Structure 1
Amino acid sequence: MSKRRYPPIGCLIPFEAAARLGSMSAAARELGISQPAISRHLQLLEADLGQALFHRNRRGLSLTAAGRDYRDAVTLGLENIARATEILRAGGDQTIRIAANFGFAQQWLMPRFSRLRASYPALFFRLLTSDQDDELTLANSDLAIRFGTGDWPGWHSVQLFQEEVFPICSPAYVGERPHLHKAGIAAGDLLGERLLHMDEVNARWLTWANWLRLQGLKPPAAKPQLLYSTYPLLLQATLAGEGIALGWRGLVDPLLQSGSLVQLLPGLHRPEHGYFVTYRIGHSAEKLLREIVDWLLSEMPREPSP
């Protein structure tokens, strides 16, 4: 196998700075070296590659087509080196522990987990799932996906999406009840139906009782016969046609888009509530965590689901 021939390694950082800033003077100021030194690095790199990377004019630098392609490759390589360096300086192979409730973990995070790992190949990820949102549960997490209003003292929080809640059921369930797919169905039409309930020990999420009150209706007096301990179990029962559940925008969208579930009524918005990605203020890997937060935000749809 032939020996791999690398470019002049010391030229790559000056090249990246000049390409990003569009100026040798600006690159020199950022790197703390002289402008002639930047110029020599760029000339050496171009001579090694055998082609021009920049157009030089009085207004500064602009990349050639070859320069743009090379900039993209060099930038990616330097970012990977910087990330790996940060991990080693933090003490070697780094594990990022992400805490999330069962519903968010299964419905939103897991379909994206392989892409997250591929984006950070030097990291190890551990997913911690629990519906308990307390200090003891979150103590071992680096990132926590939390539901609420974003007000957690000592934590940075960035909202992923606002809360929008609506009744959902299977096509089979609604198909057997013509009154549910008539025009002008209202919230009151659901009072005589089988409403599927989560265990209501945590008031952060909307319950059927609160959802009905917000619709101006009085909840049924009878207690539900069955409570589901996690949201995935509740969705499984809904998919099986057991009844009507409350669905959260962002979690059930793929099931609606595939036709596995049906949305019965428009969504109820509580914009001050929603899912937030959070990490502790002063975390030792704060820069890396901010990167991962940005990655998670990039996975959000550009337009709201219908």
Structure 2
Amino acid sequence: MNSLIEQEQQLRVNSSHEEVAKKLIQQGGYVSPNPFIWEDVLVSIVLKKPVLLKGPSGSGKTKLAQTVSHFFQQPMQSVNCSVDLDAESLLGFKTIISKSGETVIEFVEGPVIQAMKKGHILYIDEINMARPETLPILHSVLDHRRMLTNPFTNEVIHAHDNFTVISAINEGYVGTSPMNEALKNRFVSFSIPYLNGEQLKMVMQDTYPSASMQLVDVMLNIGNDLKNQVINGLLSDEAASVRSLLDAIALAEHIPVKRAVQYAIAEKLDDKIERRLVMELVDTWVR
């Protein structure tokens, strides 16, 4: 683990924020919208602190987790939460198999146990979509004990030294519920905002190098307008999704910009007034 600390410290000493951003973009990784998020998440992970990423859809939470996995060359086990998530989905399940001509019961390990034993990253996406009564089984995994008693086998599992937990939530979305305080207090929490300005421009250019500078500039202006309207409360968070904006650029290389934005951004919004507002913003930049 000392080698991980040395890597992180070397990153801070030898690289400016802009240099780190360019390097991560070139590698297809997460780009931090401020000089601190990326480095501070790395420090938290090195210190074995479970990390909670809070932010709107499309802000890059999953990309951040994937980039951490790449940075530490550490495989990632993923859990996608929903109201149907149960202990078996997290820990594993018993099944009947035939072995050497005999029928035996075998336990198939789930993502939590695999990550704990192998020293992988456990990524829990949309953790606030799970039923509150499902997640207390992870309390001992997430605190200083870093252990778990498997209720299906009674095996006591102590986490590998490199075991890491990263969770993500979209706050205030339909189907979500407030996190239990006992669970929330086990995490170090980071708010992940949308990219903007020069960093967003770099991502656009790197993702679609064939896109013209005129198209990139138009999409950047549209993206900034959408973000401002989200801040003003006139548009839903997903209207400013970087993921959707990149989808729009991909389409706009082959079809008119207005239609590209309509398909990639506006049509995803449930509210008719919001869809109309998005297209009105586009009209200010596209003639």
Q: Under a length normalisation based on structure 1, what TM-score does the superposition of the two structures give?
A: 0.20
Greater C-alpha Rg = 1
Q: Under a length normalisation based on structure 2, what TM-score does the superposition of the two structures give?
A: 0.21
* Structure richer in strand, relative to its length: 1
* Structure richer in helix, relative to its length: 2
